[in-house]
Amino acid sequence: MAEHIDQQALDEAVTYTSELIRIDTTNRGGGDGSERAAAEYVGERLSDAGIEPVLLEKSPGRTNVVARIAGTDPDADALLVHGHLDVVPAEPAEWSVHPFSGEIRDGVVWGRGAVDMKNADAMVLATVRAWARAGVRPRRDIVLAFTADEEDSADYGSGYLSEHHADLFEGCTEGISESGAFTFHAGEGMRLYPVAAGERGTAWLKLTARGKAGHGSKVSRANAVSRLAAAVARIGEYEWPQRITPTVRAALMELAAVRGLDEPDLDAPGFDVDKLLAELGPAAALMEPTVRNSSNPTMLNAGYKINVIPGSATAFVDGRMLAGGEDEFGETLDELTGPHVDWEFHHREVPLQAPLDSPTYAAMREALEHFDPEAHVVPYCMSGGTDAKQFSRLGIVGYGFSPLKLPEGFDYHAMFHGVDERVPVDALHFGVRVLDRALLAL
């Protein structure tokens, strides 16, 4: 397969990453954000390549970009390639460089979005522009979507697009996006490339405790704050039982083989997944968050004066559910909250799984191995979630595939929402080449 990535494409991947970072698209949640400037930037570069973009907004400033590249096989299913334009907040005083500088220094691009995920947006732009210059078309239609609001509820982004503009995604059966195909150094020179083929479901919860309001000097057996605190402590300390989904099962088996371990019997009575994880060494970090459901208390709100017992108190919990674990999650929360605390879903999205025996997964694996012959490509399940959840409502199966070849010691996961987020220039070059090969093979 011929490579169509020229020096201009490599340069554009770096330049676009830097310039997109300079456009502040901070999403503070609750509708507070604006992606319009970044969406217009993307739209202009698509238009320059002869690709017609459509800009769509649910609310002023919350802008999405969608475009379709016609494939050579009109009977083939379409492929969705999507990335979000918004970023989480960053406090400049905490950073070595200004988080919206997009500074390129010592072969590294710095700034908020360098990994999550303006780098991937830039690589996609550079790739499709290279195709346009070379007169290359993919086999199947490719729908490009650059979305708003992924870092909050996606109500202004992929949720809005899937509900109100489903026609733009006609024919799409599969999608690829963030958080996969990055180098994970597993020790002894071993390079893993985890490709995401699943996501835990989102279960953001609101807890409400009710009691009897009164004077702080009086004895209270119906104290809403005490009831809430007890429930929150139970939830935070609860040890969820192991649950091995098909994606995680495949990952554990492949990682055990790569490490040279005896083939584990995951169905054996009393199988201890934590023992296996300990034997996997550094690679265990890929799997540890996804072998069980989770629930982390994150916010508390109660009272307005120190000597007044409030009649109610609220808390929020970031919960995540594995495929098949939704009923278990709800039943457990009923027990942990107890009789005096109610809970409800503040925001809920489904868990996802994608097939590992698909031609798409095989093409992604081949492209990574082509450009890094020593790569060990393994499946994995994301502990969190992406816009793939919203696009799954349209019947689109999602994979995490934003390729980056990273040096040893580069903590990829720490870059997400972290201080001094950055990406090596060489990693972007690798990613563009891999994307070109994979997308044209699909």
Residues marked active site are found at 86, 150
CA angle 217-218-220, nearest 5°?
Answer: 125
The torsion region of residue 247 among left (phi > 0), alpha (psi -120 to 50) and beta comes to: alpha
CA 168 to chain centre: 22
Which neighbouring-strand residues pair with 193? Answer: 377
The torsion region of residue 102 among left (phi > 0), alpha (psi -120 to 50) and beta comes to: left
> Is the previous residue joined to 287 through a cis bond, with omega within 30 degrees of 0?
no
d(CA 408, CA 184): 8
Q: Which amino acid is at 357?
A: D
Q: For residues 394 and 172, is the Cβ–Cβ distance under 8 A?
A: yes
Q: Of 389, 416, 391, 390, nearest to 402 (Cα)?
A: 416
d(CA 169, CA 158): 11
Written as six digits, the tokens of 313 are 């108190």
